[in-house]
Amino acid sequence: MRSKDIRTLWLRWVAANALGEMFGLGLTFAVGSVIISNLENQQSGFVILISFLMAVASGAIEATLVGLAQWWAMHPWFPMINRGVWWLATLTVAGEPETGL
């Protein structure tokens, strides 16, 4: 790969990740704010369950936007990468617990 191509790929990769995170986290925050504001006065196991499900769903939203943005960034250089496979890999890794390594 030529150095110009590498630079373009790097810039696309950085932009894709930045935008994916910005919109992914923004959408997660917006959805979470709406749900939490509607549940804040209730105290029950239901609220805990909804909060847990919201956390899982928000991770999936963020991973979806980041994964699709990453695929878009790499696809011109690596056309053999399947969008669905890349998305699923991103979703899977995003759902893995931190190991601290």
Among 99, 90, 36, which residue's Cα sits nearest to residue 61?
Answer: 90
CA-only gyration radius of the chain, Å: 17
- The pLDDT, as a whole number, for residue 35 is 79
Other CB atoms within 10 Å distance of the CB of residue 100: 4
Q: Is residue 59 part of a domain?
A: yes
Per residue in 25-79, pLDDT (tens digit) is 898 888 888 877 777 777 777 777 877 888 788 888 889 999 999 999 999 999 9
Of 17 and 46, the structure prediction assigns the larger pLDDT to 17
pLDDT band with cut points at 50, 70 and 90 for residue 2: confident
CA distance 84 to 48: 32
pLDDT band with cut points at 50, 70 and 90 for residue 13: very high
- The pLDDT, as a whole number, for residue 28 is 85
Q: Is residue 76 part of a domain?
A: yes
Q: Hey, what are 65's tokens?
A: 């936007």
Domain enclosing residue 52, as ranges = 3-94
- CB-based contact 34:79 (threshold 8 Å): no
Of 52 and 13, the structure prediction assigns the larger pLDDT to 13
Q: Is residue 101 part of a domain?
A: no
- The pLDDT, as a whole number, for residue 97 is 66
Q: Is residue 99 part of a domain?
A: no
Q: Is residue 100 part of a domain?
A: no
Q: Is residue 69 part of a domain?
A: yes
Among 72, 63, 52, 65, which residue's Cα sits nearest to residue 93?
Answer: 63
Q: Is residue 36 part of a domain?
A: yes
Total domains present in the chain: 1
Within 13 A of 19's CA, how many CA atoms are on the CB side?
Answer: 12
Q: Is residue 18 part of a domain?
A: yes
Other CB atoms within 10 Å distance of the CB of residue 50: 16
